[in-house]
Homo-oligomer: A and B are copies of this chain.
Amino acid sequence: MRVLILGSGSMAEQHARSFMAEEGVLLAAAVEPNAERRAVFGAMFEIPKLFASLDEALAWGEFDACANVTPDAVHHPTTMALLAAGKHVFCEKPLATSYPLAIEMAEAAEKRGVINMVNFTYRNSPALQRAHALVEAGAIGEVRHFDAAYLQSWLVGKHWGDWRTESRWLWRLSEKHGSKGVLGDVGVHIVDFASFAMASDIVGVESRLRTFAKAPGDKIGDYTLDVNDSVVMTAELANGALGTISATRYATGHANDLVLNIYGTEGALEVRTTAREWSLRICAGADIDTQTWQEVPLEPVATTYQRFVAAVKSGENGVPSFRRAAEIQRILDLCFAQDEARRLAAAAPAATA
């Protein structure tokens, strides 16, 4: 299986490392417009073919699948070109910048019959996969109530550096620089995380977003600090469960925690995950009457990279699919539209005549 790496940033390095570690996978080529970075990236992973553009790579054509690690707004045009050429695509999240674009990509991939998956990395958490399996097996009965949160605190502490002076953080606060705030950044993860764990679609949402004052005139240098810092939503699932989903960059005491509590008719689960650590606790059966929680032993799970490779080999699409990513984008777009409607409705009239 010959893989084309599209992009050369730090996430592209992660993709390259992950795919080259898989048996039967060859990093066949890479695309990077900048000559210097292209050369460095090629050398780093000993990639035989290097191209300055996707068009050139497609003209050459000798690859089966592409890891699309371009900027968010570039996912759509590049993926559509790859799909037209019949290539399997593993795309970084978010799949697209809007639901209509995302669903167009899903439909194009399905029509072409190629493997299409998205890199929702928290699917790699053994705690999440085990929770999903336990819910599906009925270990806690029917799900009734839940709360889910993605908790970061880099707007308060300096453990990840100083957002006031470092561009790697400042761009995440500015729409002009490509950010859709905490909702676009990590909200996408927690929405997928929660509904996948509970194996049920989100059928109703009411959200609130907020951009807090963080600097004089809401500006730091060229960066207008205009994107959302916190988001909260109520959610109703197809299985009837009611819950809350939230994400914030102000959660002091939490560097990068995904927290999910699931309450069913016959027990409850506590799912905890960071990028590298995870745990799962259950309270069920006789433990219910004493409020006793038990640790659930966890085993390693296949990564999204491994599952993409397996899907290409088997010819059967894996999860999370483009269609799933489009569904998550629907929820995000809905949150943004609700927020915009609320803000515009609350704005004072500008002039009477």
Contacts and interface: CB of A to CB of B under 8 A. Distances in A.
Given A144-B250, A330-B344, 20 more contacts: A140-B252, A145-B230, A156-B265, A196-B353, A201-B349, A204-B208, A206-B206, A207-B234, A232-B234, A232-B242, A242-B248, A253-B270, A321-B353, A326-B350, A327-B349, A330-B349, A330-B350, A333-B340, A334-B345, A338-B341
21 contacts: A106-B350, A145-B248, A147-B147, A157-B291, A159-B290, A201-B352, A210-B236, A234-B244, A252-B283, A253-B288, A253-B291, A320-B353, A324-B350, A324-B351, A324-B353, A330-B344, A330-B347, A330-B349, A333-B340, A337-B340, A338-B341
Q: How many copies does the complex hold?
A: 4
Given A144-B230, A264-B250, A283-B252, A351 B333 contact: no
Contact of A147 (B149, B156, B334, B340): B149
A240 interface: yes
A89 interface: no
A348 B334 CA distance: 13
A321 B234 CA distance: 30
A229 interface: yes
